[in-house]
Chain A
């Protein structure tokens, strides 16, 4: 592998790690927002 192969590999791994973490945060934020909405809706139904 030439120098640009190593450079591509390093930058590629960094991009996947940062992009992957960004996506993971987005997915988890959406999931927990939905859970909070469901929990709040459930509590509202319990109120007579």
Chain B
């Protein structure tokens, strides 16, 4: 597993370098937004990766509540932590994109607010885990939050359709993106997903080590 993680780490680094070059150099500026649209090449992959991470939390949480296996709980915990990192990047890069595009760093738009709430839900998930001493109990409580938190992803994603928002609708879903912009976006998405899997494997390994130390101490 360590070897796989190393390969994924190197792969993610290579893909990120290619994606960086494509996004900043090779891709043309957007016809309407100009160069500032290049922020999309990290903003969109980071939120899609966060959605993936929280979907893994949902699946692992349901599996943990049904089966009670520690492995599922470790997977959910690891994926939530990595998902919070990617959601934080989404919020930061979105805010920076918003200033030159909308004239404000932040507005209480449904999509933006939903993403901020998503970030807070999973920060809360991690805090909940850290305040409950018993691992199994913490896992059960966190699994409930991990399952309920997923509904905010649906709300956040659909917010641009359900409400009149400042945030634009998904260009990818409309199929209105030029291939010259689509390819760099997909390369960066591939890089972010590879990086997510790499982080996930390392974080799961960390959880396994923590529990092994606890077992050694209690057993000794």
Residues from chain A with Cβ under 8 Å of B209 in the complex: 29, 32-33, 35-36
With A13-B93, A17-B89 as contacts: A7 and B216 at CB distance below 8 Å: no
B93–A14 CB distance below 8 A: yes
**With A3-B100, A4-B35, A7-B39 as contacts: A17 and B85 at CB distance below 8 Å:** yes
Size of chain B's interface in residues, with CB distance under 8 A? 34
- B213/A3 in contact, CB under 8 A: no
Residues from 1 to 20 in A contacting B, C-beta threshold 8 Å: 1, 3-4, 6-7, 9-11, 13-14, 17-18
Determine how close the nearest CB of chain B comes to the CB of A39; give it in whole angstroms.
4
Interface residue SS majority, chain A: helix
CB distance from B140 to the nearest CB of A (A): 24
Residues 2-60 of B at the A interface (beta carbon under 8 Å): 20, 24, 34-36, 38-39, 42-43, 46
- Check A10–B39 contact: CB distance below 8 A: yes
Say whether B167 faces chain A, with CB atoms less than 8 Å apart.
no
What is the CB-to-nearest-CB distance from B4 to chain A, in angstroms, rounded to a whole number?
15
* A43 to chain B: closest residue by CB: B220
Residues from chain B with Cβ under 8 Å of A14 in the complex: 42, 46, 89, 92-93
Known contacts A9-B96, A17-B85, A17-B92; is-contact A32 B216 (Cβ 8 Å): no
Beta-carbon contact of A25 and B199 below 8 Å:
yes
A residues contacting B by CB (< 8 A) are: 1, 3-4, 6-7, 9-11, 13-14, 17-18, 21-22, 25, 28-29, 32-33, 35-36, 39-40, 42-43, 46
